[in-house]
Amino acid sequence: MLGRGYIVCRSAVCVQDGQVLRVKFKQGVTPQKRFEGVVRILTDLIEDGLRDEFVRTKAIDIVDSAGVRGHDELGEIRAVQKWIHRNAVYRKDPFGVEFFFTARRQIKDIEAGRHNGDCDDFVILGGALLGSLGYPVGALIVDSSGDGVFNHVMLVTKTFSPTKEFGGNWIPIELIYPEFRLGQSVKVSKVYPLMANANTARSPVANKAISGLGALLGKHPYAEMLSGFKR
């Protein structure tokens, strides 16, 4: 679930590879600031995942196991969606705290039979897997309650070759409901797509640490977010 206020809080585990980013919300942060921060972390973690060889190896394994032939783009996308539907377990975040799991961590958790995450974690996982297979991916933030507040996130992607079913259109992918097929969604009144940049040269989120003079002076990107929230 999106839309709660937060302050980035990085514990020791955050710095290690394939770990969790825990974000705790603070009173007084405007919904817009919260939203901007959440989508930024989301797309950053998708970008980190799609560049991760561990994630790509898993993605290849998923489409191979599903018997998808080469160049069957919709087949690959469907295989990844089904794999997440079958293996990922939806659990809400605690109230006032937002957990973000890296794609690598989620794959390891699935393999160990202890996965849990909410819609934004599912999008990080799906985006990283499909992105690592070369698809353009992004987070599609939606308003599913009709009150003008973005409260849910889906994955969005497209095929390179037009297909009979979707042409060359962008395809929303619902990951938290196993009964939803490609292109289906709950009723939404507003969408806000934010694409991941596969060519980013940014260092991975898990390698960043808010420390030192740079952070104190507000030069670190997450420190900038923090200073924004304090106003």
Partner 1 sequence: MLAAIPKGESAYKLLQAPQHQQLGHVDLRTGETWGILLSGAAVGVIAHLLWSRYYN
CB atoms within 10 A of CB 215: 18
What sign for the dihedral angle of Cα 16, 100, 36, 197?
positive
Stretch that binds partner 1, among 73-81, 176-184, 202-210, 215-223 (CB under 8 A): 176-184
**Do the beta carbons of residue 70 and residue 61 sit within 8 Å?**
no
Find the binder of partner 1 among 171, 175, 206, 223 (CB under 8 A): 171
Q: Provide the H-helix boundaries in 51-162.
A: 53-65, 73-87, 103-111, 119-132
- Which member of 16, 189, 207, 211 binds partner 1 (CB under 8 A)? 189
Question: Which one of 37, 117, 126, 172 is in contact with partner 1 (CB under 8 A)?
Answer: 172
The single residue among 65, 169, 207, 227 that binds partner 1, judged by CB under 8 A, is 169
- Taking the least distance from each CB to partner 1, the nearer of 137 and 205 is 137
Q: Closer CB to partner 1, residue 65 or residue 189?
A: 189
Examine residue 215 and tell whether it contacts partner 1 (CB under 8 A): no
Is residue 185 within the footprint of partner 1 (CB under 8 A)?
Answer: yes
Site string for partner 1, 194-213 (x = CB under 8 A): -x------------------
Judged by DSSP in three states, 85 sits in helix
When asked if residue 42 is in the footprint of partner 1 (CB under 8 A), the reply is: no
Compute the radius of gyration of the chain from its Cα atoms.
17
For partner 1, which is the closer residue by CB, 54 or 170? 170
CB-side neighbour CA atoms (13 Å) of 36: 12
16 binds partner 1 (CB under 8 A): no
8 A C-beta contact, residue 50 and residue 127: yes
Choose, by CB under 8 A, the member of 27, 32, 179, 231 that binds partner 1.
179
Q: Is the sign of the CA dihedral 68, 71, 73, 76 positive or negative?
A: positive
Encoded one letter per residue, x for contact with partner 1 by CB under 8 A and - for no contact, window 121-150 reads ---------------x-x-x-x--------
76 contact partners, CB below 8 Å, separation of at least 6: 63, 68, 130, 133, 135
CA gap 167, 20 in Å, rounded = 37
φ and ψ at 139, to 5 degrees?
-95, 130
Binding positions for partner 1, rule: CB under 8 A: 136, 138, 140, 142, 154, 156, 158, 169-172, 177, 179-180, 183-191, 193, 195
